[in-house]
Amino acid sequence: MTGNLPSDLIKDEYPPLLPLHPDDYEEDQSGAAVNLRIGRGRAFKFRVWSVEGNKFLQSYAGKGELFLYGDNWVDVGWFMQCQRCEEAGRFVVQQFTGLVDNSGLEIYEGDRVDFDAVPVNAPYAVTHYSGFDVRYSNMLGAFVFSRDEWNFCIGDGVKTESVVVVGNEFQLTDA
């Protein structure tokens, strides 16, 4: 059911899922509505970290589906299956959140971000938060900004236009 998608999974340039709007339809040359375009969520893209190489693998055309491993282009599914085989621990697959930071950089799991948020109990106060890691919460079924005991669901008071990626878990160390 596409009507129940969390709003943080929909890119801002897409029209809202419900209620339906005439802009949600593509038209053929005669002007007839032929294709309902609802339920278009974020792109499913990935990046792959090579533990041995200490770097992200090159993605074919930046699409986050095929990665250069040795002399071959390998599908991301192979790296995911590696988590359960003899290759386990050699690669870390991270998923794109569907969001970009304030400079247009794509935000992935494992990124470290700074952002502003409006607390629920003080709707006119804006607080700046630093050094939060992007994680997927199985319990919440959503990406969160996480640090210590703090977890911010991306749609809960986070001012998305303020988010800045300051690095990722592999290339940053805690001070």
Distances (CA, A) of 47 to 55, 95, 115, 138, 174: 11, 7, 23, 20, 22
pLDDT digits (tens, 9 = 90+) for 78-124: 888 876 666 678 889 999 998 899 999 999 999 999 999 887 777 77
Instruction: Please tell me the pTM assigned to this model.
Output: 0.71
CA distance from start to end of the chain: 44
| Residue with token string 């999974």 | 9
Q: Give bridge partners of residue 117 from the DSSP assignment.
A: 127, 158
Per-residue pLDDT, 157:
82
> CA-to-CA distance for 37 and 130, rounded, in angstroms?
37
Least confident residue range of 58-62, 82-86, 138-142? 82-86
Per-residue pLDDT, 26:
43
Q: pLDDT grade, residue 3 (50/70/90)?
A: very low
> CA-to-CA distance for 51 and 44, rounded, in angstroms?
23
